[in-house]
Amino acid sequence: MTLRSALAVSLLLVGLAAPSAAAVTGEMRTLYVLATWGPVPFSNDDLLRVGAETDAFYRASSGGRFSMPPSVAGPVQLSREVFSNCDATSLRVAMPASTFAPYERITFVTPLVEGCPFFGEANPTEVLLNGRLFRALAAHELGHTLSLGHASRWTCDRQCSTDEYGNAFSVMGDGDGDLNAWEKSALGWLGPIVRPRRNATHELGPVEGPTLLPQALVVRTAASEFWFESRGSSTPSFTGDSVQAAGVAVVAGPAPGGELSQYPRENLLLPNPAGVARFAYAPGEAFVRPGIFRVTVERHALQSAALRFEWLDRVAPVRPRLRVRTTRGRVRLSWDAARERGSGVDSYTVVIDGRPVRTYRSDIPLTTWTAAFRAGRGSHRVGVYATDRAGNRGRLASARIRIR
């Protein structure tokens, strides 16, 4: 893990957030091992204190769903050559397997190994803390063992790029704050979310919790998905040399199965044009995707924030390309996904003789859609049209059929 030069080199829908494939819950016993070739820069009490602080962080972040109770071992004397591998697994293999039997996660704490180009490193079950020991670093590296990646930032000057550790709020970036809404959703820890369908004002509780209010407003467009969260409190940086003001933060990434997004990956903190180095949006400020949507912060406080959502998209989806087959009284329609570059297609409606008979929501993105049904004898006109998330209805694609 790398954190800057200081740690260098490494209708309205309200529902539960989409859980991860397997929500992270329960108790994950964690052993902190003081491993050394001679120097002892930390005491066992230091390890236990940081372990307890990290456990408290995850208990709070998960709303009590998850914990990492710590135990301590060491100091363990090992050959100096083992440390030169800069790898937690090498340390584990050099110790008796019985040391680790009761534990799901192992955190090795070592003196500073000058040849290792990081202060923290993680693999799926093990963590190495190289000459540094503090809660934010331990929580960050153990977060990787929970399948979390880095909380990055999208930054644009003459060209746009990803700042790998640029999220100034989440401990998975270069903040020393709680995990963000996208990360909590991935772990199955997020409360209700709002996915707005119409223009309205929505109230959010703080992502840090606890709250009975929704903890995120999620807007999906044709290409991208945007996660709005309320940071109830100010957030110190990972190294403690700066502070981010409380407010509404915005994280973006590609929409699942959507058009080509400008964002190369998920979980990218977006800048606030009005804030320069202040990334959260304050009351009166608005996040705008021109021609698609606007979210205005009407109010923000410790316990809640009010966000006004508005669709700006006025362009209807392109008419789908339709194909029709009839066989023994059955009609089969198939059509390619309608082209829609703004808010994105929300649904397709099948029409028979001018009457809407069936609507298909596009929650699952498909490139080709089909509908099959029976029709009475005689001549009929069948068709389909697309409606986007902003409510714009596209032109009907239709064909005349005859059932004998």
Rounded distance between C-alpha atoms, residue 35 and residue 23, angstroms: 32
- Phi then psi for 209, rounded to 5 degrees? 65, 180
Query: Strand, helix or coil at 385?
Result: strand
| pLDDT score of 366 | 85
| pLDDT score of 14 | 35
pLDDT by residue for the chain (404 residues), tens only, comes to 444 433 333 333 333 334 445 799 999 999 999 999 999 999 999 999 999 999 999 999 999 999 999 999 999 999 999 999 999 999 999 999 999 999 999 999 999 999 999 999 999 999 999 999 999 999 999 999 999 999 999 999 889 999 999 999 999 999 999 999 999 999 999 999 999 999 999 999 999 999 999 999 999 999 999 999 999 999 999 988 899 999 999 999 999 888 899 999 999 999 999 988 999 999 999 999 999 999 999 999 999 999 999 999 999 999 999 999 998 889 999 999 999 999 999 999 999 999 999 999 988 878 899 999 888 899 999 999 999 999 999 999 999 999 88
| pLDDT score of 21 | 54
Say how far residue 316 (Cα) sits from the centre of its chain: 29
Query: Strand, helix or coil at 83?
Result: helix
- DSSP states along 12-50: -EEEEPPPPSS---EE--EEEEEEESS---S-HHHHHHH
Neighbour-count burial of 361, counting CB atoms closer than 10 A to its CB (0-12 exposed, 13-18 middle, 19+ buried)? exposed
Domains and CATH numbers, the chain: 25-145 (3.40.390.10), 152-311 (no CATH), 322-403 (2.60.40.10)
| pLDDT score of 300 | 98
Query: Strand, helix or coil at 284?
Result: coil
Question: Peptide bond preceding 210: is omega within 30 degrees of 0, i.e. cis?
Answer: yes
